[in-house]
Copies of this chain bind each other. A is one copy, B any other.
């Protein structure tokens, strides 16, 4: 059978290269895994125990309604369960959101260099993607809104805090943006790093507001990237529409159990926040010692400005990879003057401190 005209038009190349593929290609493991915005501090011991228990029950399908997890999230956040949908990571939820809203001919706006998986979904459902430049190291709310108005977009993507730059806007700035949205335009506010951000970066939740949907995850601060559990918060009409298209049994029993336990463990979250803050300082110090400029970060990575062009930053990155340090970098100029280094353990930081000066020398500093 023939592919549909839309899927036939999509690129056949695999869009995502994981660290495992890089390790296979170089036939050597990385010593420090600091490139995928994961939490090397791991899941809460309580979450590990919950997953171990659930492993024995893994013969049972997970609850397709994710009732307990949705209710726990709702109670935790002070919203109703009808305002919460749980899915296979933010990636999965972005796919469902785009499927609900985007068809060929519809315009969508994002920032040039922002999360590529959002773009993958928009293109995948035939939307027309419009990109505005970052304003320095920040996504530019005014430019996003202006462009949406100009092209008649019904959907805007903004991550706050931002990946790949680590920057953030304060809540008032985000609220201004929401208030300036064109009629009928939805803001997809990706708050993957909300748990790691200063409180003043996160606007209060108002799930009566039909203009915004917020995406969060257990993959970052909660250290459960390997389970893939994300959730979206918004008006119950939009949240309810996910039931029309989602893979109802897509979130397994082990994943739901791990996320439930992680959510309940505020102690571990506080511990992770402290370790992340400490590691951000360490990365910043290592970068400065090497003559580079660490950017302020509200995430569990620090984006480091290498001070020259993309070719130079790519060479620095290559030097780190050659020294068994897995890191990544923004893919688009002018952001690609930077490399992005994840928070790590003391051993990871030692490895980074040892490797960075040599990587810079190789890059022809």
Contacts and interface: CB of A to CB of B under 8 A. Distances in A.
Contacts of A316: none
A198 interface: no
Interface string A1-37: 1111111001111111110110010000000010010
A227 B254 contact: yes
Interface stretch (A39-47, A157-165, A329-337, A346-354): A39-47
Given A16-B249, A101-B3, A240-B12, A63 B228 contact: no
How many chain copies? 2
A319 interface: no
21 contacts: A1-B184, A1-B185, A10-B245, A13-B243, A18-B64, A20-B67, A21-B63, A38-B60, A48-B56, A48-B58, A51-B51, A51-B58, A51-B254, A55-B55, A59-B224, A62-B228, A89-B250, A91-B248, A124-B245, A225-B253, A228-B251
A364 to B, nearest CB: 33
Contacts of A24: 67
A252 interface: yes
A88 interface: yes
Contacts of A313: none
Contact of A10 (B3, B43, B57, B244): B244
B18 A63 contact: yes
A57 B5 CA distance: 41
B254 A65 contact: no
